[in-house]
Each structure stands twice: as C-alpha cells, then as structure tokens.
Structure 1
Amino acid sequence: MEPLLTARGLVKRYGRVTALNNADFDLYPGEILAVIGDNGAGKSSLIKAICGAITPDEGEIKLEGNLLNFKSPMEAREAGIETVYQNLALSPALSITDNMFLGREIRRQGFMGKWLRMLDRPAMAKIARDKLTELGLMTIQNINQAVETLSGGQRQGVAVARAAAFGSKVVIMDEPTAALGVKESRRVLELILDVKRRGLPIVLISHNMPHVFEVADRIHIHRLGKRLCVVDPKSISMSDAVALMTGAKKPPEEALAA
C-alpha cells in the first residue's frame, strides 16, 4: 500500500535553532498515526508544515503523489487536510453552526446570496446538526447556542465534527484530550475512532501514552527534529516507547526502516 501523505527531508530553521532536521513522515490510508516526542522534538513544526501554518526551508510534501506547496492553512483545507488545534480555534461568542462554517459559509441562492451576500442559515444549521448527530454528539440540544456555553468535551466535539465534516483526505488532531477530564477524554477517543471508521486517516499528536496505545495503528517517534523510528503499539511497551522518545534506548533496525 502506498502512503497517502508523505514528507521527505523537511528542514525548518528559526535563526540558529533547527526545529526540523531532514524530517520524514508517512501516513497510510485509513490509519490512525500517533506522533509522539519530547518537548522541543519538533512535532508541532512537523504538523504545522503539513497543514500549511509554516513553510519549510527545504524538503517536499506530497498528498496522493501530488507535490504540495501550501502558503497558508486555508490552502491545506482546500486540499482536504483539516486540523483540530490544541486551542480548538473556536470563537466562543459565535454559535455552533457559525463555528463549523467559519470561513466557508454557505450563501443563499440567486440575487440575495450573490449580490447581498446573505447567508443560508437553515442549510448551515441542518448540515451542522447532521454532522454532530453522525458523530453521536446528541447532548448538544441547540445548534444555535454559543460555544462558550458548552463544556470542554462538547467544544472538542464541535472542533472534531468540523474537521470530519470538511476534511476529505486527512484529519490532524493536536493534543485533543489535553485539557479534558476522564469522561470527556473517553468521548473524544470514541469520536476519533468514529472518524477512522468513516475512512479518514488521522494524525494524532499526544503526550497521553495510554490514549496513544489504545487508538493508534502505528506510532511515529520524533526526536531532535527528525523521525527516529515508527513502531507498532502491539509489539512495544509504553516504557520502551518513552525510552526511545527520550534517547534512553536505541530503536530496533526494523523500526528504522519503517
């Protein structure tokens, strides 16, 4: 099977600091790929390069074999790559519907939409409700309530639903359970598995090792600005993964070739 999304030789420097040092990356269709690494390992820079938030100094990124050169996250979104950021990137004062369609609102048909630029709110509300129901977020009763009135888990659900609704190729999730309680974290993990069942591959960046080992199909270990190895969570322990991540242990040869 050929990778859906690949990165080769990515380099990103900030003055004398090298955030990415010839980093490689592979994401296969329909999988959950966890990306783990110590603080400062370059995980965020890698993901930002893939989702268009930064432009690498060197290297190339390909989606379905096509070379990408994103200048902004909007271009990545247009290519089918959606990102759920750690801060969720939601506007608290706006409604659930408005947040799901932020930057890609649906306008009314004909004169009202084309010239007066009026929004088709009923259509947006219906799509938002359908997407939330699809992912089992039935606890949200009013689709037009402000996001600031939602719990942390519900807000995370809205962000995941938005990514699943518009991400046609890849969904990237950055620390999706970082600020959540046990019950809300469980719901988000279920949402991640629901998105996978819909056929979308997911890149999961997380420091929560039990969550990583529970849902990931493969684990990409990032160290010192590059991919150290890729391991199978079924064939390695959490303590060994942490040892690889911190440099206390050398990766096996087969993992280096992965």
Structure 2
Amino acid sequence: MTDNKSGTHGAILTDTPPGDGEHPLVQLRNAGKSYGNVRALHGVDLAVRPGQVTCVLGDNGAGKSTLIKIISGLHQHSEGEFLVDGEPVHFTTPRQALDRGIATVYQDLAVVPLMPVWRNFFLGSEMTKGPWPVRRLDIERMKQTADEELRNMGIVLDNLDQPIGTLSGGQRQCVAIARAVYFGARVLILDEPTAALGVKQSGVVLKYVAAARERGLGVIFITHNPHHAYMVGDHFSVLRLGTMELSAERSEITLEELTNHMAGGTELAALKHELSQVRGVDVEELPEEEDLKASAAASPEGTS
C-alpha cells in the first residue's frame, strides 16, 4: 500500500520521460517470437504514437496474443527490436513495462467482482493514512479520487460502493481504462475489449477508447472486428499467421478493404465457389469472385 496521492505506479512514472514527438512511444522493428521450433510472430513492424489509436486485427491464431505479451513485458521478443521512446528494451516482467507507462487491460479485467468499484480502482495501490505501524486505508480519499477520475473520462456512477460485478461489461471495461490512465499509462493496450459485449455496450467502450486518445495516450486496440476498429482507429495493422499482412493509415484504406484483408478475400472467393455447389444456398447476392480477389490483392501504401 502507499500514501502517495497518485498511487505506487504514479509515483514511479513521474520520472518517466514523456514522448518527445520524434520517437513513437512504442515501436517494434522486424520483431518476432519463437517458442522452440514454433515461430509465433515474425517480421512485425508497429509504431504507437501519442494521441493515436493503432488497431491490430487478426483471426484466432494470427499472433495478436503473442504481440500483446511482448509489449506488456510478459514475454521477450526473440527477433528484431522493441523500443520505448526510441530506446531498445528487453522487459522481463510486466511491472517493468508498467513502470515505463505501458498498461494492459485484458478481457478478464483483473477485477474482484464482489469488491466495491472504488476498491477495485485502487486494487494493489491503496491510499493510506496515519502513522506507522497503525496505518489504515484512506477510504474517503480513494472514493473521492476514483469518482473524479471516472468523471474525467466521462463515466458517472451513482454508487461507488456497489460491487463492480454488478456493472455491465462495458462499464467494467471503462473503469479499467480509467484506472490505467490514472496510474500513469501512456500506452494503453486493450485486449479484445468489445469481444463479449453487445452493440450498445461496445459503443460505450469505443467512446472511452476515443476519450483516451483525446487525453494524449497511445492506444493499441486488439480486435477481430473491423467495424469496431474503423470507428476509432487511426492506423490499422492486420496479422495473419504471425506476419504483418497489412499496415495502413486510415486515409489509405476503406472499411471494405480492411474487412476483406481481415477475412481474407481469396478465402471468401473460394468459399463462395464451394457454397455455389450446395443445393439451397443462394450466392447470387454475394460479391463476384473477381471482386473479392481484387479487393484482397489491393495493397495501399504501407502494406507489407
């Protein structure tokens, strides 16, 4: 526990140099990761800049989880370079990444469902008061700070004493985002934040992803949903079988092109051909095979 107003992480991050504008906050150059003879990631280039949302898309097994683990410090890269503020790094623990301002919000959110919202907000970095050895939790200050920080992100909760498990999935995601921002995150990694949510709750989360960008954070938005990515993304990277298939700015690609790169236009064309052989399946309304293949082959500037 700590009596620092901004918590343990905030105290450490006060000495962390901010991005100077010349270097991306986080950058991967030809990075890769092998597990024995299995090459999970290879030749990946990625740059995360302040005030931008970098969307990383890919199907199951594309390498998204491995990418998250490298940037968050859980695993070390075995190929290429990993730079933070232009400085090569080799994180050995997630704490080292967090100390450099890289916070990850996983799908399970790392919350305790039966604990109040304010307690989850400060979980592991509680504020205390009083002399040692009879220090005690500064509950009022934690409640006030949590309420202020949530409101700064546009999140208004009537009762911070309610168990966080009673909140909707979208609200829990937003609390986790606000918590990461408060404790000094400069790079926010969001692991499939809308995967298990409905349409309305997904919209709530996307709203706060945009709010984090407006506060100057570099956001890495991991998703398999191109429509969600296109709503908030500034740069799009598509992984396929551990390699970077696409890297494009928003101005260089349309939603249709992004969807086809994500889904695999060639595979869709082959699927349409197979479906046409099945009795009772109408494929007349689907795009022509030539259109699907052409869309998949279209490579905007920056495609690798």
1:60 is the counterpart of 2:78: no
Does the Cα contact within 8 Å between 1:24 and 1:226 map onto a contact in 2? Answer: no
Look up the SS of the partner of 2:213 in the other structure. helix
Deviations 1:13-37 (A, max 9, x none): 2233211123221112211111111
The residue aligned with 1:196 is 213
CA contact (8 A) 2:52 2:219 kept: yes
CA deviation map 1:133-163 (0-9, x unaligned): 111211x212122111212222112112112
Q: Is the 8 A contact 2:248 2:300 kept in 1?
A: no
Matches within 5 A, 1:218-257: 218-245=235-262, 246=264, 248=266, 249-250=296-297, 252=299, 254-256=301-303
Q: Indicate the residue corresponding to 1:176 in structure 2.
A: 193
- 1:203 positional shift: 0.7
SS at match of 1:125: helix
Distance 2:298 2:189 in 1: 25
Q: Is the 8 A contact 2:102 2:185 kept in 1?
A: yes
Q: How far 1:216 sits from its partner (Å)?
A: 0.4
SS in 1 for 2:176: helix
* Alignment map for 1:99-138 (pairs within 5 Å): 99-109=120-130, 111-112=131-132, 115-138=133-156
In structure 1, the residue matched to 2:61 is 40
TM-score, normalised to structure 1, is 0.89
The answer for unaligned runs of 5 or more in structure 2 is 1-21, 267-295
What is the CA–CA distance in structure 2 between the aligned matches of 1:133 and 1:17, rounded to whole Å? 46
8 Å Cα contact 1:228-1:251 kept in structure 2:
no
The separation in 1 between residues aligned to 2:240 and 2:297, in whole angstroms, is 12
Q: What SS does structure 1 have at the residue aligned with 2:24? A: coil
Local SS of the residue matching 1:55: coil
Deviations along 1:71-112, one digit per CA (max 9) or x if unpaired, are 222221121111111122211122212211122222325x24
1:34-88: per-residue Cα shift (whole Å, max 9, x none)?
1111221101111111011222233331111122222222221121111111122
Tell me the number of residue pairs that the alignment of Structure 1 and Structure 2 aligns: 253
1-structure distance, mates of 2:252, 2:44 = 24
* Whole-angstrom distance in 2 between the partners of 1:157 and 1:202: 14
Q: State the partner residue of 2:159.
A: 142
CA distance in 2, matches of 1:83, 1:221: 20
Aligned counterparts of 1:159 and 1:233: Cα–Cα separation in 2: 27
Between stretches 233-242 and 66-75, larger displacement belongs to 233-242
- Are the counterparts in 1 of residues 252 and 300 from structure 2 also a CA contact under 8 Å? no
Is the alpha carbon distance of 1:228 and 1:80 closer, same or farther for their aligned partners in structure 2, counting shifts above 3 Å? same
Q: Report what 2:273 is aligned to.
A: none
Structure 1 CA distance for aligned equivalents of residues 211 and 300 of structure 2: 34
1:4 aligns with 2:21: no
The alignment yields a C-alpha RMSD, in angstroms, of 2.0
What residue in structure 1 maps to residue 227 of structure 2? 210
Q: Report the CA distance shift for 1:151/1:256 in structure 2 as closer, same or farther (over 3 A).
A: closer
Structure 1 residues 229 and 105, CA, compared in 2 at 3 Å: closer, same or farther? same
Is 2:103 aligned against 1:85? no
> What is residue 45 of structure 2 aligned with on the other side?
24
Taking a change above 3 Å as real, the CA distance of residues 149 and 253 of structure 1, as seen in their structure-2 partners, is closer
Unpaired segments of 5 or more residues in structure 1? none
User: Percent same amino acid at aligned positions?
Assistant: 40
Q: Is the contact between residue 213 and residue 238 of structure 1 (CA under 8 Å) also seen in structure 2?
A: yes
Q: Separation in 1 of the partners of 2:136 and 2:100?
A: 26
**Residues in 2 aligned to 1:240 and 1:253: alpha-carbon distance in whole angstroms:** 9
Larger radius of gyration: 2
TM-score by length of 2: 0.77
CA distance in 2, matches of 1:118, 1:211: 43
Task: Using the TM superposition, give the Cα deviation of residue 253 of structure 1 relative to its aligned residue in structure 2, in angstroms.
Answer: 6.5
User: CA shift at 1:230, angstroms?
Assistant: 1.2
Give, in whole Å, the separation in 2 of the partners of 1:137 and 1:178.
21
Q: Equivalents in 1 of 2:40, 2:192: separation in Å? A: 19
Partners of 1:11 and 1:55 lie apart in 2 by 9
